[in-house]
């Protein structure tokens, strides 16, 4: 698994394929979580990354990246794994401040 580089919103929308995958959204600022600081705002997944871009809230000073998965089920699993690791490390889910 390898995520793309961090992209501006327009690049993210232009590059995301119509395939299953996971996306991440982060702010350029560090946010205080219960057990540390991170810029991560959100993880998401879907059967079409292209369709997902239409439903992601656009926030200033935010970057995006994605990884393509073999199936929607694999994307769901990966998203849950990433969220679980984040919660263990930072004491809350991304964006749950």
pTM listed for this prediction:
0.91
| In the predicted structure, residue 59 carries a pLDDT above the cut 90 | no
Q: Is 13 left (phi over 0), alpha (psi -120 to 50) or beta?
A: alpha
When pLDDT is cut at 50, 70 and 90, the band that residue 65 belongs to is very high
| Residue 19 backbone dihedrals phi, psi, to 5 degrees | -140, 160
Domain layout of the chain by residue ranges: 9-90
**Mean pLDDT, the chain, integer:** 93
What is the topology classification, in CATH, of domain 9-90? GIY-YIG endonuclease (3.40.1440)
Cα end-to-end span (Å), the chain: 28
């Amino acid at each position: 698994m390898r995520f793309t580089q961090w992209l501006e919103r327009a690049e993210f929308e232009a590059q995301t394929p119509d395939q299953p995958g996971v996306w991440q959204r982060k702010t350029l600022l560090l946010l205080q979580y219960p057990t540390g600081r991170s810029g991560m705002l959100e993880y998401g997944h879907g059967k079409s990354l292209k369709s997902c871009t239409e439903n992601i809230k656009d926030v200033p000073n935010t970057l995006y990246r994605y990884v393509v998965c073999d199936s929607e089920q694999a994307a769901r699993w990966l998203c849950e794994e990433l969220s679980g690791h984040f919660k263990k490390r930072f004491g809350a889910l991304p964006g749950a401040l």
